Structure 1
Amino acid sequence: MDQGNTAFILIAAALVLLMTPGLAFFYGGLVKAKSVISMMMMSFGAMGLMGVLWVLYGYSIAFPSTAEGTTQVPWTIDFTNFGLASVLETPEGAAYPPLAFVAFQATFAIITVALVSGAIADRAKFGAWMVFAAIWATVVYFPVASWVFNFGLADDGSFSYGGWITHGMQDVFGVGAIDFAGGTAVHINAGAAALALALVLGKRVGFQKGAHVPHNPPFVLLGAGLLWFGWFGFNAGSELAADNTAALAFVNTIAAPAAALLAWLIVEKIKDGKPTSVGAASGAVAGLVAITPACASLTPVWAIVLGLVAGAVCALAIELKFKLGFDDSLDVVGIHLVGGLIGTLYLGIFANGTGLIYSGSLTQLLVQAIAAFAVMIYSFVLAFIIGFAVDKTIGFRVKNEDEIAGIDTVVHGEEGYVLSDTRG
């Protein structure tokens, strides 16, 4: 067992876990002051819920043991691994303990679910959100993670391959889809679910451009900084080894979001006359989203180009909700769905070795598109069905008067900012 790589994976897992509190700050600063607790609690609720479900059965769905060289059919469940029963010991010859990989992937499940919550800010019941999150993770995230990430350790210590998006399409097309750290499984997946929930819950009271402004831009900047810091674990850690590929992913995780930050600010300056702090934070996140699937497959120069494209396009894409009439409160669709699509499809042209400019073939672009749209459609349809069912049974949205007053005290009995103590 390589103790250095084991330590690398565990540190990366801790970094990715930090992303969810970072997301809570990012989202919390974007909402109004009277719903900041509600918004941040949806992220922390995801941490608690996914941490338990992943151990109980999430890992057994996402990473069933599959003989090397075979392709698993979608929705395979490893019944021997409920409660992590079969990965408690490290097989002889394994590069790292299976539990290190379990921990790393657990943090991916947590952040993916938390991302969805941004679309329903200011108006969602906490209990209904938790019910939705549990069901969506079970029938959407865990299986999709298997389609993309199923490269964990088998019982004999060898790598276990089988996800149809990567290994399966390689059997058919000669190349599999590239998604190094989760452009499809995390960002397209969460973005599509966010769009579905925004449609189910409907618009906020008074929804129109300029009606809902961020109450705490410093929170937004702090959250973006924590996200960027944790993203190094997200991207470089996905190599599962401290090597040159991890170093390339690390450098690209600097370059792409930096370029996207600049591109977003330029678009803001041209479009609105002023570059904003929220725009800088959003641009950095857009670049991080776009580079996630591509971080190990691009040269740093092409990573900068990707960041410029993602920052500019996502800055424009967040306006879609006003033109199309859906209320994606915190721009999960404009940043994560659009950014994830850009990063995933970009690989079809610029991926080292297999992209169009290197191979002269559109095959890589084809498999990237199949992966992206398969995940998007699957997640959107099931999220809409689950969200609709939750809304029609226990109710997903608070009353309009509670939304106007601010839902923190109604749902959680707390206030984000207590300016005076009137208890006597």
Structure 2
Amino acid sequence: MIEKKLEKRWIVAFAITAIFAITGLFWKHATVAGPDAEFNSTDTIVAADVAWLLTASCLVLLMTPGLAFFYGGMVGRKNVISTMLKSFICLGVISLLWVAVGFSLSFGTPLGIEIGGVHYGIIGDPTKFAFFDFVDEHPNAKMASTIPFILFALFQMKFAVITPAIITGALAERIRFVSFLLFICLFCIFIYAPLCHMVWHPNGLLGAYFGVKDFAGGTVVHMSAGFAALAGVLCLGKRKNVEYIPTNIPFVLLGTGLLWFGWFGFNAGSSLAANHTSAMAFATTTIASASAMLTWVFFDRLQGRKVSAMGACIGAVVGLVAITPAAGFVSIPKSIFFGFITAIVSNSLAHWKKLKQYDDTLDVFACHGVGGIMGMILTAVFAEVEGGSLIYGGWDVFGHHMMALVLVAAFSFFGAMLLFKLTNVFIPLRVSEESEQLGLDLSQHDESL
């Protein structure tokens, strides 16, 4: 009976994809008529900025396959393909959703509250840029004034793609594939898009009103994914066999290399220009990661654990997560501290017995969630930004960051929990015990290594 129901749901999934395709065929696509208050002339385009953002977009796209290898090497042999596919499939699902409505929800006309005569957005108007209406070669005057708006939209799309992919590591080896597809669509619309709008839109509530600084996604990407992962773990429950041996450490090394390489586009590209800020973000990104990698393996040794390739890789990624919100706001010496302190905190939590009992398969919350939290706190303390961070007397900036931290954590965690439970109403989240025992590669995809 369950299998028949699932077949019907796959028919629905195919029908939705067909509707997207047919709608795109008949959509009366609106383009920018010419320069106005919202869009600049193409004469304002800076060729160097376009070249760099095209490159950065490619680098960020590469991070999702990198994440697939990173996670795929860590899981048991019977679940490598299913784990990797969950990252890869985000390239298809979220990309289409982004074009149809995701970009509009994230960067469309603000819908929110009016404070002091200024309108601050909580989410964007879903019709503003639906199916990329008005998203063409003309630069947007407020969001990206020197590159085509279509390039800005595609660059941001890569961030939307990798965010739900991060969550997969926590749910590996037990979540049903079709359930995951439904959840990531809901997550993108109801959690990622509002956070993206509130932090990165020029009139977003958190960024414009509260002054929250998130250079490249410590809050929008890593905190949202980390807390959603924790919610998913609580909803799914433990695996039947918690003990496992990582299948392929070289996959983990390869994935780390691809992530590190792609992260230069993630962070340095977020300057949206080929300028001094992108160069500084490029430098702080790699130095923080180097610091965290060494700190992780040395701290492991101090705790009586052997130096491991997997530990070095996890440490490097934690450093990349930590520096993300501050990459363009801090100096090189401070980036070393970002990596150092975050690696210690994340390592301690990753081995904390109380957290381990919840069975976050690949420690997504301890690495991405905690890394995002640490990055946000450290940004509020050390960033060289307008209004000043804590060490420069910016108590307001620090206070607003702490307020936003609590808000984002609660919104991401409880919002994701609600979406997981809603998904479970329509499609069971967990595979059957027999399927889990057989392994998701065979039971879900009829493939094996």
Same fold flag (TM > 0.5) = yes
After the TM superposition, which residues 10-89 of structure 1 pair with which residues of structure 2 at under 5 Å, given as runs? 10-65=54-109, 70-89=118-137
Instruction: Give the match's secondary structure for 1:395.
Output: coil
Give 1:92 deviation, angstroms. 9.2
285, 294, 299: which one aligns with 2:331: 299
User: Is 1:407 equivalent to 2:440 in the alignment?
Assistant: yes
182, 185, 189: which one aligns with 1:138: 189
Instruction: Give the match's secondary structure for 1:73.
Output: strand
CA deviation profile, 1:95-135 (whole Å, cap 9, x unmatched): 11000100100000000010011110011111000011111
Give 1:322 deviation, angstroms. 4.5
| Match in the other structure for 2:212 | 177
| Match in the other structure for 2:428 | 395
Distance, in Å, in 2 between the alignment partners of 1:223 and 1:316 is 23
CA deviation profile, 1:38-92 (whole Å, cap 9, x unmatched): 100100111110010000110000001469x944331231413110111124159
Distance, in Å, in 1 between the alignment partners of 2:416 and 2:200 is 21
Q: Which amino acid aligns with 1:250?
A: F
Distance, in Å, in 1 between the alignment partners of 2:118 and 2:365 is 35
Give 1:270 deviation, angstroms. 1.3
Is the Cα contact below 8 Å between 2:60 and 2:158 reproduced in 1? yes
User: Is 1:275 equivalent to 2:275 in the alignment?
Assistant: no
Inter-CA distance 92–219: structure 2 relative to 1 (3 Å threshold): closer
Instruction: Give the match's secondary structure for 2:274.
Output: coil
Give 1:319 deviation, angstroms. 2.1
Structure 1: 4+ residue segments shifted above 4 A: 91-94, 321-324
Inter-CA distance 19–132: structure 2 relative to 1 (3 Å threshold): same
User: Is 1:129 equivalent to 2:177 in the alignment?
Assistant: no
| Match in the other structure for 1:420 | none
Inter-CA distance 300–92: structure 2 relative to 1 (3 Å threshold): closer
Is the Cα contact below 8 Å between 1:321 and 1:328 reproduced in 2? no
For the aligned residues, what is the CA RMSD?
1.7
After the TM superposition, which of the residue ranges 22-31 and 92-101 deviates more from structure 2? 92-101
Give 1:163 deviation, angstroms. 1.1
Give the structure-1-normalised TM-score.
0.90
Distance, in Å, in 2 between the alignment partners of 1:403 and 1:91 is 50
User: Is 1:165 equivalent to 2:206 in the alignment?
Assistant: yes
Give the structure-2-normalised TM-score.
0.85
Give 1:212 deviation, angstroms. 2.1
Instruction: Give the match's secondary structure for 1:396.
Output: coil
- Which stretches in structure 1 are left out of the alignment for 5+ residues? 151-160, 170-175, 418-424
Distance, in Å, in 2 between the alignment partners of 1:11 and 1:275 is 35
Distance, in Å, in 1 between the alignment partners of 2:371 and 2:129 is 34
Distance, in Å, in 1 between the alignment partners of 2:364 and 2:60 is 19
After the TM superposition, which residues 91-130 of structure 1 pair with which residues of structure 2 at under 5 Å, given as runs? 94-130=145-181
- Which stretches in structure 2 are left out of the alignment for 5+ residues? 1-44, 112-116
| Match in the other structure for 1:286 | 318
Inter-CA distance 404–98: structure 2 relative to 1 (3 Å threshold): same
Q: Which amino acid aligns with 2:184?
A: A
Distance, in Å, in 2 between the alignment partners of 1:70 and 1:298 is 30
Instruction: Give the match's secondary structure for 2:134.
Output: helix
Give 1:388 deviation, angstroms. 1.4
Q: How many residues align?
A: 395
Instruction: Give the match's secondary structure for 1:187.
Output: helix
Distance, in Å, in 2 between the alignment partners of 1:6 and 1:305 is 33
| Match in the other structure for 1:197 | 232
Inter-CA distance 243–84: structure 2 relative to 1 (3 Å threshold): same
After the TM superposition, which residues 246-395 of structure 1 pair with which residues of structure 2 at under 5 Å, given as runs? 246-320=278-352, 322-323=354-355, 325-352=357-384, 354-359=388-393, 361-395=394-428
User: Is 1:227 equivalent to 2:259 in the alignment?
Assistant: yes
CA deviation profile, 1:402-424 (whole Å, cap 9, x unmatched): 21221101100100x2xxxxxxx
Inter-CA distance 407–321: structure 2 relative to 1 (3 Å threshold): farther
Q: Which amino acid aligns with 1:260?
A: A
